Structure 1
Amino acid sequence: MRPYPRPMTRRPLIAVLTGAGISTDSGIPDYRGPNGLWQRDPKAQELVTLGPYLADEDVRRRAWLMRRDAGALTAEPNAGHRALVELAARLPVRVLTQNVDGLHQRAGLPDRKVLELHGSARRVQCVRCRRYGEMSAALARVAAGEDDPPCRECGGILKPATVMFGERLDPEVIGKAEAVARACELFIAVGSTLQVHPAALLPQIAVESGARLIIVNAEPTPYDPVADQVLREPISSALPALVATLTE
């Protein structure tokens, strides 16, 4: 691995790709790690897969209970999220996140600096009329006794405003993320297995465009051999330390 930091002289932009690992210290479990949700309950994946979700009312009931109990809307940003706010206050930064929890914005990053590749779990969308609403309002209906709350406008099925398995990512969002990866001088991947495409291609685009790569993740990733630096320490301590180094 090449030592870092080196002087950043070519392009000032820093791209940060964040995955589920950055939010585990906020109480939101990851999916694919050794103790991830899919490992503990493989059947849970159908709750976020479009086909079963639309076809089976029981799947939707279970999905609403999962959202109610997950506590994602009450989770608070942790030191890793706050470190990226500090970095963005000192240097040009764009955060490309695979997460849907909105914790980067809650920590203080403006919307314009965050690209939510997989959408947002803080909103719902009707699959029929495509209107959006607040997830908190839908969960309040669940708490009041509606086990599968329909759209209030047209009666259609409500789903989280996220990209479920079986759905394509928004090509406009992915296009913007790829442009950031091509333009950056430094690409930092935080808490991501770097195995889910097309987001997993972003580090490759950055490296092939001449950017340096830092990986902060507890488990090995496919990009470790080409990274300038790999940090295995806990994200909530490693990321603030990295940011302090970059901003000195």
Structure 2
Amino acid sequence: MEDDIDELAQMIQSAGRAVVFTGAGVSTECGIPDFRSPGGFWTRYKPIEFDDFLASEETRLEAWRRYFNIYDAVAQAVPGPSHKVIAGLYHAGIVSHVITQNIDDLHRASGVPEEAIIELHGNGSYAKCLSCGERYEIAWARAQIEAGRRPPYCSTCAGIVKTATISFGQAMPEAEMARARAATFDADLFLALGSSLQVFPAASFPVMAKSNRARLVIINREPTGLDALADLVIAGELGDVLSATAERLGRQQIAC
């Protein structure tokens, strides 16, 4: 692995415009369980389809109840080693964008500015109206439910309020997908970090990058279906690999 980390550091150092793509592995080191793994949130709280969420108040109340359990479990999480190295790479001018499948808002908390973060699956730290897009805090939604025993509705247009995450059966966000495509096609180095690369269309971005002649690096504890496509694959603990890479690059270059 030492040789792999040396190679990764050299690839990062020579990159003109790198893009980072993150999955659950970046957040599990912060104590946030993987949604899909055995024992993860979805084995305890079965996902509710978007059409079912829209269909009845009873289903929406149940969806909110499950979400509060998830939110309470992760709300105190803080950025981990990988978040900090990624933020360092951004502030060093090496990484232009962070494309993430995660909904925990920890990239922003680590210091990456909002305009550089592309959240493919939304953001679980707040809610919004499905009709007019008005933003609401999770605490507000909880208070509305506790006060009226009914799911929250928008105070502006009376539309349905939902967490700002993408549910099963819900269309992917067009603006974020377009931004992610543009960033990917602009990159000469694409770092896929802590993702199984099994969930599409999100997992199509490493393929896009490689097809556009960017170098592709995959770092994950387990093999992925795209390993054969990558220029470099490192199997290991993400935080350890990235921290060691930052050491190779030098703390004066990567402020993390």
TM-score category, normalised to shorter length: 0.7 to 0.9
Q: Which amino acid aligns with 1:27?
A: G
What TM-score does the superposition give when structure 2 sets the normalisation length? 0.84
Amino acid at match of 2:81: A
Q: Is the Cα–Cα contact under 8 Å of residues 97 and 116 in structure 1 kept in the other structure?
A: yes
Which of 15, 25, 28 is the equivalent residue of 2:19?
Answer: 15
Question: For residue 139 of structure 2, what is the aligned residue in structure 1?
Answer: 136
Measure, in 2, the Cα distance between the counterparts of 1:85 and 1:187. 15
The alignment status of 1:44 with 2:38, answered yes or no, reads no
SS in 2 for 1:121: strand
Match of 1:237 among 224, 228, 240: 240
Name 2:205's counterpart in structure 1: 202
Gaps of 5+ in 2: none
Match of 2:81 in 1: 79
State the distance in 1 between where 2:13 and 2:247 align.
19
Match of 1:184 among 181, 184, 187: 187
Q: Does 1:110 align with 2:110?
A: no
1:156 aligns with 2:152: no
How many pairs were matched up?
243
The verdict on how the C-alpha distance between 1:243 and 1:34 changes in structure 2, with shifts beyond 3 A counting, is: farther
TM-score, normalised on structure 1?
A: 0.86
CA–CA distance in 1 between the matches of 2:238 and 2:58?
37
Report sequence identity in percent.
35
Which residue type is aligned with residue 219 of structure 2?
V
Q: Is the 8 A contact 1:216 1:239 kept in 2?
A: no
Amino acid at match of 1:64: W
- Which residue of 215, 221, 224 maps to 1:221? 224
Superposed CA deviations along residues 17-62 of structure 1, whole A, max 9, x for unmatched, are 0112211122322122344333x24x6112xx21111113333222
Query: Which residue is equivalent to 2:173?
Result: 170
The root-mean-square deviation of aligned C-alpha atoms, in Å, is 2.5
Partner of 1:95: 98
| CA–CA separation in structure 2 for the residues paired with 1:204 and 1:245 | 28
CA contact (8 A) 1:96 1:116 kept: yes
Question: Equivalents in 2 of 1:121, 1:170: separation in Å?
Answer: 14
Deviates more, 1:125-134 or 1:169-178: 125-134
Structure 1 residues without counterparts, runs of 5 or longer = none
Q: Which amino acid aligns with 2:63?
A: A
Q: How does 1:19-38 map to 2 (within 5 A)?
A: 19-38=23-42
SS at match of 2:46: helix
